């Protein structure tokens, strides 16, 4: 009797904790379900090859840099390069398709952890699992996030780490891990620095030392850039082997001029375009659910304010960054709004699952890449038409990056020399071209015209048309070998 009596409290404690464990397992299962469903949808709508759809013009460069372990454009994206190298080893499809699938997996991971965060926020709500699932899938099927889930780009990886960071903050994980995740997020895109105030405030003043230690550990991939720069890859930007060159690369100093307000006359149209980009994430009406969530008592006021201020910082940054693809910087806005979206969807209970279904149908056709005249078709025509041992002068990123991919990843026409007229303006580029091709001359200064005259004596020189589409003109050597 005494023995049985002494075991009763422990047995009672186990019985009390059993429902909690079952509920936690159910929440994890729902999160995995959301990730699996989104991955299936992304896989079915995946770009089958290298693509320029959804502002994916950097894909050729990123893939080539990852396969050859190089350094792409600033800030170098070392974590993407290292993980992309692993993705390139998958035994299926073209290399470009493997990287598209890598993006799909990263975006599905973001959906999974967004769902897990919603589970925490909703607490003991009666329809917690259904609403959390609806929240994750609504985020996953939003137009901007879905568009980046089906192409080779850095934004899906960045979003995956950002959502894990937000889950870590919401679930009150040790500050070291939040710092580590923030550091890793920064290595995938510099805009993640905007998450620093939110992360520090949630970590708490007493835990700052642990948080910043984790942050420093998360930034360690940036230290691989000097080693990657010595790999012999055809894609190496700048000179990260020196402290000054490393800082220029990781701080993306070359792009600072893009960060400015629009011209005064263009302010109204720029503001309208930005508002449209933000509102389209949830098909306009979905933001009403975010407002409903803001008025509910589900998300603590302090957390709501911090999330909205951070989202606002992203919106301001996107407004001030003057490039055509600045809308992609708004992707974290959706996941920052996710807890409030979950609170708004909770009003609908099980009917909340209608929301992601509507977004799926609404965005399916617009998101699925359908390029009848693909980069492969255009690049193949250029490559086949080029004479032997020709220098191909490219007019900018998209043409150069696509040709890099087909030459250095798929092994087409190794005899061709790719030279970009715009990059000739940089000392480091001319020095690297001279190292790769010692027979080239006219690389002492930024003078494309002189470069053509000097090298046309021995090499055929061809002008690659913009976007690989248009007249392809080649000049034969002026002196026969």
Domain ranges of the chain: 7-367, 375-475
Per the CB < 8 A criterion, the answer to whether 151 and 103 are in contact is yes
Query: Which ranges of 2-94 would DSSP assign to H, the alpha helix?
Result: 2-44, 59-67, 78-87
pLDDT at residue 479, rounded to an integer:
73
The model's pTM is 0.93
The order of strands in the sheet holding 473-475 is 417-420, 391-394, 461-463, 473-475
Q: How many CB atoms lie within 10 A of CB 247?
A: 12
The Cα 380–Cα 384 span in angstroms is: 6
Per the CB < 8 A criterion, the answer to whether 237 and 74 are in contact is yes
Structure tokens at 157: 């990886």
Per-residue pLDDT tens, the chain, 481 aa: give them: 444 444 455 555 555 466 667 778 888 999 999 999 999 999 999 999 999 999 999 999 999 999 999 999 999 999 999 999 999 999 988 999 999 999 999 999 999 999 999 999 999 889 999 999 999 999 999 999 999 999 999 999 999 999 999 999 999 999 999 999 999 999 999 999 999 999 999 887 778 889 999 999 999 999 999 999 999 999 999 999 999 999 999 999 999 999 888 888 888 888 888 888 888 877 777 889 999 999 888 999 999 999 999 999 999 999 999 988 888 999 999 999 999 999 999 999 999 999 999 999 999 988 887 765 689 999 999 999 999 999 999 998 999 999 999 999 999 999 999 999 999 999 999 999 999 999 999 999 999 999 999 999 999 999 999 999 989 999 999 875 4
Q: How many helices (H) and strands (E) does the chain have?
A: 21, 4
Query: Distance from CA of residue 260 to its chain's centroid?
Result: 22
The Cα 114–Cα 31 span in angstroms is: 8
Nearest to 358 by CA among 55, 123, 28, 134: 134
The Cα 476–Cα 461 span in angstroms is: 7
Size of the chain in residues: 481
Structure tokens at 310: 């951070």
Query: Distance from CA of residue 422 to its chain's centroid?
Result: 25
Cβ neighbors of 45 (< 8 A, separation 6 or more) are: 146, 150, 364, 367, 368, 369
Cβ neighbors of 467 (< 8 A, separation 6 or more) are: 52, 378, 398, 399
Per the CB < 8 A criterion, the answer to whether 453 and 442 are in contact is yes
Cβ neighbors of 2 (< 8 A, separation 6 or more) are: none
Cβ neighbors of 210 (< 8 A, separation 6 or more) are: 174, 175, 176, 179, 203
Structure tokens at 360: 């799926």
């Amino acid at each position: 009797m005494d023995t049985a009596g002494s075991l009763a409290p422990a047995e009672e404690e186990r019985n009390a904790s059993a429902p909690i464990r079952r509920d936690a397992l159910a929440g994890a299962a729902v999160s995995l379900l959301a990730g699996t469903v989104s991955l299936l949808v992304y896989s079915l709508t995946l770009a089958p090859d290298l693509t320029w759809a959804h502002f994916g013009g950097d894909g050729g460069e990123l893939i080539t840099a990852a396969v050859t372990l190089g350094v792409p454009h600033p800030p170098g994206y070392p974590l993407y390069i290292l993980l992309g190298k692993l993705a390139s080893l998958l035994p299926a499809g073209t290399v470009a398709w493997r990287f598209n699938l890598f993006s799909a997996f990263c975006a599905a991971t973001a959906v999974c952890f967004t769902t897990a965060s919603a589970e925490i926020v909703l607490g003991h709500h009666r329809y917690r699992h259904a609403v959390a699932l609806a929240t994750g899938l609504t985020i996953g099927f939003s137009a901007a996030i879905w568009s980046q889930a089906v192409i080779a780009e850095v934004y899906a990886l960045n979003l995956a780490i950002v959502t894990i960071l937000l889950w870590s903050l919401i679930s009150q994980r040790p500050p070291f891990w939040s710092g580590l995740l923030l550091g890793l997020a920064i290595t995938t895109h510099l805009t993640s620095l905007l998450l620093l105030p939110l992360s520090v405030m949630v970590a708490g003043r007493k835990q700052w030392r642990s948080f910043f230690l984790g942050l420093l550990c998360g930034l360690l991939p940036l230290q691989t850039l000097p080693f990657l720069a010595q790999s012999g890859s055809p894609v190496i930007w700048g000179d990260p082997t020196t402290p000054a060159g490393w800082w220029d690369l990781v701080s993306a100093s070359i792009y600072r001029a893009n960060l400015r307000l629009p011209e005064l006359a263009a302010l109204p149209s720029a503001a309208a375009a930005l508002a449209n980009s933000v509102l389209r994430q949830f098909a306009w009406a979905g933001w009403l659910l975010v407002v409903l969530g803001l008025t509910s008592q589900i998300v603590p006021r302090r957390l709501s304010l911090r999330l909205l201020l951070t989202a606002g910082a992203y919106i301001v940054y996107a407004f001030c960054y003057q490039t055509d693809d600045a809308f992609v910087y708004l992707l974290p806005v959706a996941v920052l709004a996710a807890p409030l979206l979950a609170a708004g969807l909770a009003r609908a209970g099980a009917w909340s699952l209608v929301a992601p279904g509507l977004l799926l149908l609404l965005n399916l056709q617009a998101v699925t890449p359908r390029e009848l005249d693909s980069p492969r078709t255009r690049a193949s025509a250029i490559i086949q038409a080029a004479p032997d041992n020709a220098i191909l002068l490219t007019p900018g990123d998209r043409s150069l990056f696509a040709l890099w991919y087909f030459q250095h990843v798929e092994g087409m026409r190794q005899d061709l020399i790719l030279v970009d007229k715009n990059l000739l303006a940089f000392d480091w580029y001319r020095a690297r071209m001279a190292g790769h091709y010692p027979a080239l001359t006219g690389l002492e200064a930024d003078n494309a015209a002189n470069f053509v005259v000097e090298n046309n004596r021995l090499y055929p020189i061809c002008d690659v048309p913009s976007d690989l589409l248009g007249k392809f003109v080649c000049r034969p050597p002026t002196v026969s070998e």
